[in-house]
Copies of this chain bind each other. A is one copy, B any other.
Amino acid sequence: MRIGIIGCGQLARMMALAGLPLGIKFSFVADSGVDTDLSCVEGLGIIAPWQPGQSIEALYQALGKPDVITVEKEQVDLHLVQQLETYCTVRPSAASITQCKSRIKEKQLLAKLDIPCAPFTYQVDLAQSAATLGLPMVIKSLDEGYDGKNQWVVHDNDSLNTLAASENFGDHLIEQWIPFDKEVSLIGTRGHDGDIHFYPLTENVHRKGILIRSTAPAKHISPKMEAAAQDYMRRLLEAEDYVGVLAMELFVVGDQLLVNELAPRVHNSGHWTQMGATTCQFENHIRAVAGLPLGATTLTSKTGMLNLLGVAVPPMKALSSSSSLHWYNKESKPNRKLGHINFTAADYVSLDQQMDLAETHLY
């Protein structure tokens, strides 16, 4: 079996590394304008260069006629994905990717399925949005939204007036700013037969909009909250007839959960599953898209993940008996995700201590 992956970054790399043991072969679509650093996936399969306008037939051939195609990101050329669907199965489907690529389509889907999220406006000007939502509020572009990119918080009327004078922002999604207690995420996976498995909720800490740390399971989450999050994701997975891993970011406000964002793919906040779950998110995504039975998502230990942002060389000295390193082979740039370390411990105190120590040492 051969699986094609659209994208050549670390998520493609880790999907391939999780699928190779099963005897599956991989191919990667390198969009010439976007995928400039191919070092993550070099040596792991066929790399097929492509750019918009080029033949899809030729690309499909160059990929070695994969049995199924998947994506490592939602910011893909949707026309490419739709055209590839005429050659082989694409999982998740082009329709599911489309829903998550656009912030407004995503919000509309959440609203349609009665899934709680921050109140929002769309195609409404700034002043009216402020009147509806109150301040602060968050202005978000409709796509290219990940790692906190392309979004601005408006805190007061002065800023609002300045912004309103410069641009209408009616083509943006405008959300009420949520004073959340913390951010958590749910990683779930659905097989082609409808079987669904969830990992425990994960607690995430961001730094300048970029994920820096995850802890699983998230602390102080009641069974009721866990069940609510799973219920929301189940509605999404079933409504979309979704196949593969889906990631859902949520705000915790008291004992309530509000869905913030979806990602139709494996997710940075699920990297801990490589060390702390029976089957990691990467293998489960591969199993799902390959039409294989899903693996158990059972937690094997309290686990944490620390991203290596802009760290120049693999921090081999940070390794210990209770940690493991994943290095992506990318060229180092400030704030770039170059690798991560997973940590395991019997309790949160020991886990936090290890992660604090490593973070202090690295940053």
Contact = CB atoms under 8 A, between A and B. Distances in A.
Interface string A39-81: 0000111000000000000000000000000000000000000
A9 to B, nearest CB: 15
A348 interface: no
B301 A278 contact: yes
A95 interface: no
A197 interface: yes
Q: Which of A44, A45, A325 has the most CB of B within 10 A?
A: A325
B293 A320 contact: yes
A197 B22 contact: no
Given A23-B314, A275-B278, A287-B319, A324 B295 contact: yes
Contacts of A319: 287, 292-293
A316 B290 CA distance: 10
Contact of A278 (B290, B322, B329): B322
Contacts of A21: 14, 17, 324-327
Interface in A306-363: 314, 316, 319-329, 339, 344
A328 B294 CA distance: 21
A22 B278 CA distance: 20
A300 interface: yes
Contacts of A294: 321
A283 interface: yes
Contact of A329 (B23, B197, B283, B326): B23
A316 B292 CA distance: 7
A325 B44 CA distance: 19
B322 A296 contact: yes
A20 B17 contact: yes
A308 to B, nearest CB: 11
Interface in A212-265: none
Contacts of A278: 275, 300-301, 322, 344
B321 A296 contact: yes
A99 interface: no
Nearest to A275: B278
A279 interface: yes
A301 B328 CA distance: 29
Contacts of A14: 21
A14 B294 CA distance: 22
A344 B296 contact: yes
Interface in A1-56: 14, 17, 20-23, 43-45
Nearest to A339: B23
A147 B292 CA distance: 32
A197 B21 CA distance: 25
A321 B300 contact: no
Contacts of A300: 278, 300-301
A256 to B, nearest CB: 31
A38 to B, nearest CB: 15
A325 B45 contact: no
A22 B325 contact: yes
A274 to B, nearest CB: 8
